[in-house]
Amino acid sequence: MNKGAANFGFLRVAAVVPPLKVADPEYNAGKILELAKKAVAEGAAIIVFPELSVTGYTAADLFQQNLLLEKAEAALKRIQSESKKLNAILIVGLPLVFEGKLFNVAAVLGRGKIYGFVPKTHIPGYKEFYEERWFAASRDLVNKEIDFAGRKIPIGADLLFQIKERPEAILGVEICEDLWVPIPPSSLQVLNGATIIANLSASNDLVGKADYRRSLVIQQSARGICGYIYTSCGARESTTDVVFGGQAMIAENGSLLAESERFSRSGEIIISDLDLEHLSTDRTRTTSFGESVREPIKKDFRVLTVDVSVKVTPLIKRKIDSHPFAPFNQNERNKRAEEIFSIQSFGLAKRAEHSGIKKFVIGVSGGLDSALALLVAAKTCGLLGLSRKNISVFTLPGFATTKRTKNNAYKLAKAIGASFEEIDITDTCLRHFKDIGHDSKTQDLVFQNAQARYRTMILMDKSNQSGGIVVGTGDLSEIALGWNTFTGDQISHYNVNAGVPKTLVKYLVEWASGQKEFSGARKVLKDILATPISPELVRSHKKDITQKTEDLIGPYELHDFFLYHFLRWGSCPKKILFLAERVFDEKYPRLVIKKWLRIFLERFFKNQWKRSVMPDGPKVGSVALSPRGDWRMPSDAEVRIWLEDLD
């Protein structure tokens, strides 16, 4: 059993909204420590508290009272002392006097040691904000160290904090308004190596403001390819003129991992695991990220080593999607389906328009993939102002074709309004077997592939006769696994399904069945959706489908999960297995998942030569296998180290 999630790049973090009392540092320090202990008990390695959380943000002119400032320093010393027992980095906000000026700072501390103070850079002085009345900006600093509690401690907006045990975990800090400006400090921090940003905030609530804050945090995590921990002061702040709801968020690379309930009077803790391995992979691939360091706006940073031990846990506190290609939310899934369908149909329309071709040739089997391709062709005809009769549908029954699939192919073509022709390939294949000296009773690879190749030859010849485009039907999952016949169903003039994984094909067909323009096909599409996936290439005495693809190569939901994490994130097999166990544990035993993952890896590596000559087709998502764009791999690469990693 693996030691835990930390071995795969995960780091647990927390954002806290404490229930404070304005201008009562001693009370607030107690609450900070109380909630910090709870977060540490949950395994959090970084715990972020709001801006000025030691005093409260709304102390106003009380910030000019020496007594409050002295009590704030005393409260920080208490937090420092009691943090010796807490194995985590704590980031708290307080006012700090230095060089005859008052700074709004974040104190970064852990295991009884204060590592540095980061002052706020952008001080708001507009509308309901008048911080300029009390605070100086980080750029007003003269010195780089401050004497505090008998030690010289680094101070400045040029500090980054690196966890000794996890060197990939480099923390940058900005405070509230810093995020709202055109070039936030965090943008410079990530370019200098920060992988995690903590934002201590005090952002009051107005109608619609929470949505805007959320978009800021998510977008900054995307631009910085980083983890972003945001927390804002809560409902116990003064309500003299404004109200604070206490919004806390944890985002990663454009995705929101966790968010607090707002307007809680008892305080909030949210916890999630950041995947630093994912961030590193994406930064390496996104070459424009690294090139940004050439911009004229530069800053030299001091990197401080933080000595805390990161707790290793076998559990993950973040959502791992079992079907990463298909959103769980129905509305999001419908929106995604509409967008993909548009990409497919506009791609085919451009190819037809450029070629001066107005006809489409499709082999329709009565299965999901060919159904989707036919629906896309129908949509394309609408875009080009063509009759759907310009679509020539061919169903090509062979030795194992069932009555159900053949009838569904006919019904779908009729419902769509396409022309239809049936050509039985049985006799021709038998003559072919006789020509090459193959026993037709032996249902081996020769027997099966001959059918696939002959079907493709018919489609190509029919396209020559009609002057049309052969529309490909093979999906991304089949391409990844090499589950297609070379010079057979692998070939087409334009493959509209090339970027669509199998688990998403189903949702696209389901979505299309609910569209008004395909209402006449709804009934047959529902039956196609319920039909087992099969190549129908092996004879059986039974009338029903017996050659089921998922029995032969494994469940597509597993293969699509493997494909996503292998290609999108470059995850090692052990990590993929680790994640798959956690999302499929109630459906598949560990040994079953491992078995199909091994088969995925073996097939993926063995079948690159097929992908190297795959036809054109539109990319629809972040995972694609076109040899011209997204995936260049030697056809003879060894799979050994990936299989060994799995063992």
Per the annotation, where are the binding residues for L-glutamine? 126, 203, 209
Name beta bridge partners: 15.
48, 270
How far apart CA 645 and CA 642 sit, in angstroms, is 5
| Residue 125 burial class via C-beta count within 10 angstroms: exposed 0-12, middle 13-18, buried 19 and up | exposed
How far apart CA 256 and CA 274 sit, in angstroms, is 11
Question: What secondary structure, in 3-state letters, does 290-349 show?
Answer: HHHHHCCCCCCCEEEEECCCCCCCCCCCCCCCCCCCCCCCHHHHHHHHHHHHHHHHHHHH
Residue 606 contacts residue 480 (beta carbons within 8 Å): no
Q: Name the helix (H) or strand (E) containing 581.
A: helix 573-584
Q: What angle do CA 350, 351, 354 make, to 5 degrees?
A: 80
SS3 at position 549: helix
How many CB atoms are closer than 10 A to CB 433?
17
How far apart CA 481 and CA 350 sit, in angstroms, is 29
Residue 223 contacts residue 187 (beta carbons within 8 Å): yes
Which residues have a catalytic role annotated? 51, 120, 176
Residue type, position 595, single letter: K
Write the CB contacts of 27 (distance below 8 Å, at least 6 apart in sequence): 20, 21
How far apart CA 121 and CA 330 sit, in angstroms, is 42
| Residue 570 burial class via C-beta count within 10 angstroms: exposed 0-12, middle 13-18, buried 19 and up | middle
* Residues listed for the chain: 647
Q: Taking the CA atoms of the chain, what radius of gyration do you get in angstroms?
A: 30
DSSP state of 565: I
Residue 393 contacts residue 420 (beta carbons within 8 Å): yes
Q: Name the helix (H) or strand (E) containing 190.
A: helix 185-191
List, as residue ranges, the binding site.
Answer: 126, 203, 209, 363-370, 449, 473, 478, 483-486, 610
Q: What sign does the CA torsion over 185, 268, 271, 77 have?
A: positive
